[in-house]
């Protein structure tokens, strides 16, 4: 098993874990029930997960950070263990998810938060920051999925085509055929390679299947990735990048760092896009220092 496969397996083991960092709670937001965990006291740290993930992906961080902060992880509208039904034609985008996030913050009375967004959660966090800068103490962007930026980056145009065909069109065709198993296979092949499919244990497959409703919403969305870039003059910004990430993200990470040249950046040279599963020893003190500073 290669390095990326080992990293991915570590990541999936988080998702398949039955251990909760605290008793899970729920709240109604925009007609949907969102489940979340809430631990610790102090300034609020709020994590936003990426595609085919859920609140569990940050479980390795909550106990430690809760010593100094109030730490909240939540599952977005169509992610485990939420049971909100997706109907073809329902709005799904970074913008709609950012609206859910803003109303989630208001429903819990959180005030200003330290917001962390990873991958698709990163562009949701960017839209939230653009819409509601007054609700932010700080922003951490972890390789946001800035697919909408790719066509404008010289030398990277083909990466946008790959996302559209392999991630969107191929999974959509599988859903249209009523073949969720094929849709899952398409996702695994896109993110980690077809040669990895046979190495995944059944309990891991279950964890991935639990988050397929969000992937269906993504596949049918007319415009899932367009995001408004925030002006970060009113809050501290930290950008996390990985040395062994996907080619598309190398393109967008570079443009992101150019756009926010005054932001803090931490480059994890040997990490993959699944950095939250593998880099806790580095990220925990880095994040605590950023927020306390």
CATH number of the domain that residue 68 is part of: 3.40.50.1820
Helix (H, G, I), strand (E, B) or coil at 204: helix
What total number of domains does the chain contain? 1
DSSP symbol at 167: I
Closest CA to 172 of 209, 124, 111, 219: 219
- pLDDT tens series, the chain, 293 aa: 344 444 455 555 555 555 454 589 999 999 999 999 999 999 999 999 999 899 999 988 999 999 999 999 999 999 999 999 999 889 999 999 999 999 999 999 999 999 999 999 999 999 999 999 999 999 999 999 999 999 989 989 788 788 888 888 999 999 999 999 899 888 888 877 766 666 777 777 888 899 999 999 999 999 999 999 998 778 999 999 999 998 999 999 999 999 999 999 999 999 999 899 889 999 999 999 999 98
Tell me if the pTM is above 0.85. yes
Is the preceding peptide bond at 81 cis, omega within 30 degrees of 0? yes
Task: Report which secondary-structure segment, H or E, holds 26.
Answer: strand 25-29
Q: Please calculate the CA angle 130-136-140 and round it to the nearest 5 degrees.
A: 80
Give the 3-state secondary structure of 33-85. Answer: EEEEEEECCCCEEEEECCCCCCHHHHHHHHHHHCCCCEEEEECCCCCCCCCCC
How far lies 101's CA from each of 31, 136, 163, 256, in Å? 13, 12, 25, 22
Residue 253: which domain range?
A: 3-292
């Amino acid at each position: 098993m290669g390095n990326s496969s080992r990293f991915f397996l570590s990541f999936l083991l988080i998702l398949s874990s039955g251990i909760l960092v605290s008793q899970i709670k729920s709240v109604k937001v925009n007609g949907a029930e969102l489940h979340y965990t809430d631990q610790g006291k102090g300034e609020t740290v709020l994590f936003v997960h990426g595609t085919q993930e859920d609140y569990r992906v940050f479980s390795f961080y909550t106990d430690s950070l809760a010593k100094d902060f109030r730490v909240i992880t939540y599952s977005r509208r169509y992610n485990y263990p939420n049971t909100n039904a997706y109907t073809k034609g329902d709005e799904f985008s970074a913008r709609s998810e950012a609206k859910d996030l803003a109303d989630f913050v208001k429903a819990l009375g959180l005030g200003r938060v330290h917001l962390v967004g990873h991958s698709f959660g990163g562009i949701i966090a960017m839209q939230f920051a653009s819409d509601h800068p007054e609700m932010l103490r700080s922003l951490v962007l972890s390789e946001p999925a800035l697919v909408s930026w790719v066509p404008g980056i010289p030398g990277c145009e083909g990466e946008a085509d790959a996302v559209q065909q392999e991630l969107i069109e191929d999974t959509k065709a599988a859903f249209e055929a009523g073949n969720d198993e094929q849709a899952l296979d398409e996702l695994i092949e896109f993110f980690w390679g077809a040669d990895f499919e046979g190495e995944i244990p059944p309990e891991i497959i279950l964890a991935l299947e639990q988050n397929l409703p969000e992937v269906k919403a993504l596949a049918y969305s007319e415009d899932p990735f367009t995001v408004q870039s925030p002006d970060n003059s009113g809050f501290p910004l930290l950008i996390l990048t990985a040395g062994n990430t996907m080619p598309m993200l190398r393109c967008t990470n570079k443009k992101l760092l150019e756009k926010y040249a005054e932001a803090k950046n931490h480059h994890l040279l040997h990490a993959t896009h699944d950095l939250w599963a593998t880099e806790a020893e580095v990220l925990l003190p880095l994040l605590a220092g950023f927020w306390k500073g």
